């Protein structure tokens, strides 16, 4: 038995290797658009994409702006470097974004050990497992299914379907209502992001565990309540079963 009844697990960089998917899909996208130097362009694209997602978390931009901006910057950069071998074959920026979504939706790569961890967690008496993610519905569902994690996790909450992104308290209110347990103490939020997972748990009063595979605490950690930190899946399992 655990004092936690519901474990809310973030997807990207908690159960799924987002960076592995991002990189392989980006490279496949560049190849299909006949754009060269895809490795170098990935190093350009990845930090831009990451900083735009941070702006979205802080509600400074919306999703269409994020999707538009990341690929318009990329295509401008590729054009300035003359890496685009067939300019007439490049569709609109939003179409490029949709091609990327399609590739990403088929690319759910679990972090090593994730399946075993969930398998063990599943067998702990009296707990149920849900996944919580900020993202696009088609991509999130596709990645979840292609990773086979859906066989181990009961529910998947996607911000686009919920109508609010983590760390908005309304995202967590929706989850509690859907699960049918309004006591935040019965939950444990596990995630790698201070700004979405830990901030969200702080907002709604749920206990939380920061998953940091590097052991490095992100900037701003001292401003938040972090109940537990875990370096690996074994530590999360112990936190749940010893509670």
Binding residues for Mg ion (CB under 5 A): 10, 12-13, 192-193
**To the nearest whole angstrom, how small is the minimum distance from the Cβ of residue 16 to Mg ion?**
8
**To the nearest whole angstrom, how small is the minimum distance from the Cβ of residue 1 to Mg ion?**
28
Query: Are 241 and 124 contacting, i.e. CB atoms less than 8 angstroms apart?
Result: yes
**To the nearest whole angstrom, how small is the minimum distance from the Cβ of residue 197 to Mg ion?**
7
By beta-carbon proximity to Mg ion, the closer residue of 41 and 131 is 131
By beta-carbon proximity to Mg ion, the closer residue of 13 and 173 is 13
By beta-carbon proximity to Mg ion, the closer residue of 38 and 57 is 57
The residues assigned a catalytic role are 10, 12
By beta-carbon proximity to Mg ion, the closer residue of 12 and 38 is 12
**To the nearest whole angstrom, how small is the minimum distance from the Cβ of residue 140 to Mg ion?**
12
The 3-class SS string of the chain reads CCCCCEEEEECECCCECHHHHHHHHHHHHHHHCCECCHHHHHHHHHHHHHHHHHHHHCCCCCHHHHHHHHHHHHHHHHHHCCCECCHHHCCCHHHHHHHHHHHHHCCCCECCCHHHHHHHHHCCCCCEEEEEECCCHHHHHHHHHHCCHHHCCCEEEEHHHHCCCCCCHHHHHHHHHHHCCCCHHHEEEEECCHHHHHHHHHHHCCCEEEECCCCCCCCCHHHCCCCEEECCHHHHHHHHHCC
């Amino acid at each position: 038995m655990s004092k936690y009844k519901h474990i809310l697990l973030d997807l990207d960089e908690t159960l799924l290797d987002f960076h592995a998917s991002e990189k392989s899909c980006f490279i496949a996208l560049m190849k299909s658009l006949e754009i060269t130097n895809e490795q170098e362009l990935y190093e350009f694209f990845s930090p831009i994409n990451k900083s735009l997602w941070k702006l979205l978390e802080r509600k400074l931009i919306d999703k269409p702006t994020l999707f538009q901006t990341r690929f318009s910057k990329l295509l401008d950069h590729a054009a300035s470097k003359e890496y685009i071998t067939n300019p007439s074959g490049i569709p609109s920026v939003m179409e490029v974004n949709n091609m990327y979504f399609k590739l990403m939706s088929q690319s759910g790569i679990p972090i090593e050990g994730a399946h075993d961890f969930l398998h063990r967690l599943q067998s702990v008496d009296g707990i149920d497992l849900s996944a919580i993610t900020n993202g696009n519905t088609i991509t999130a569902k596709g990645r979840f299914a292609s990773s086979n994690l859906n066989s181990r996790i009961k529910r998947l909450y996607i911000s686009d379907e919920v109508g609010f992104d983590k760390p908005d308290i309304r995202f967590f209110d929706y989850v509690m209502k859907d699960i049918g347990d309004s006591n935040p103490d019965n939950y444990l939020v596990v995630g790698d992001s201070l700004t979405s997972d830990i901030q969200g748990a702080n907002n709604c009063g749920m206990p939380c565990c920061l998953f940091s595979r590097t052991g490095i605490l992100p900037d701003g950690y001292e401003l938040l309540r972090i109940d537990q930190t875990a370096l690996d899946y074994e530590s999360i399992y112990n936190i749940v079963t010893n509670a």
